[in-house]
Amino acid sequence: MRQETKTKQPGKELGLRQVIISVGSNIDPQNNIRLSHEVLDNETRLLAVADIIKTTPIGYTQQPDFLNTAYLIETNLEYDDFNAFLKSVEDRLGRERGAIKSGPRTIDLDIIVWGRNIVTQDYFNYEYVSTPVNQILTARQISVYS
């Protein structure tokens, strides 16, 4: 797992919470994951990045493999505002929401851990989510509740 080198001290400002997001792409995935990293590093407090893993599509399988990772971010936004921010980042990176829910995408950014709580069943259901998230949880010694 890569630790970000900027001097960002977690929890030093009132109202900050740590969030882990799942990151995935199968349309120009190396470039789009790099771009998501750049945007989130510039616009949030990006504290840690999990290793990138290659995964096969689930559901709609007639599409390229995915690259997946996870980011540990610190934010002072409320949940709905942070989620809207992530959706705006997806839009800026060319995400199109088509008829196929599990179809190809330039970037997918989903909140998995909010504070110390796992907030989506995806963590329990999909290894492409749990593997990178667990890498961050273990490396940063973060305990979470389900």
- Per-residue model confidence (pLDDT) at position 39: 97
Is residue 110 assigned to a domain?
Answer: yes
pTM to 2 decimals?
0.89
Is residue 146 assigned to a domain?
Answer: no
Which residues neighbour 70 within 8 Å (Cβ) at sequence distance 6 or greater?
A: 20, 21, 22, 23, 49, 50, 112, 129, 132, 133, 135, 136
Which CATH number belongs to the domain containing residue 131 in this structure?
A: 3.30.70.560
User: Are 111 and 82 spatial neighbours (Cβ–Cβ below 8 Å)?
Assistant: yes
Tokens of residue 12, six digits = 């030093």
Each residue of 123-145: pLDDT tens digit? 999 999 999 999 999 999 999 99
Is residue 86 assigned to a domain?
Answer: yes
Is residue 101 assigned to a domain?
Answer: yes
Q: Identify residue 88 by its one-letter amino acid code.
A: S
Tokens of residue 102, six digits = 């599990």
Sign of CA dihedral 90, 91, 95, 99: positive
- Taking the C-alpha atoms of residue 54 and residue 97, their distance in angstroms, rounded to an integer, is 22
Residue 1: pLDDT band with limits 50, 70, 90: low
Is residue 135 assigned to a domain?
Answer: yes
Domain count, the chain: 1
Question: What domain range includes position 123?
Answer: 16-139
Which residues neighbour 86 within 8 Å (Cβ) at sequence distance 6 or greater?
A: 21, 109, 110, 111
- Taking the C-alpha atoms of residue 26 and residue 48, their distance in angstroms, rounded to an integer, is 22
Is residue 117 assigned to a domain?
Answer: yes
Tokens of residue 137, six digits = 């949880």
Is residue 56 assigned to a domain?
Answer: yes
Tokens of residue 64, six digits = 């390229």
- Per-residue model confidence (pLDDT) at position 6: 40
Each residue of 14-34: pLDDT tens digit? 579 999 999 999 999 999 999
Is residue 127 assigned to a domain?
Answer: yes
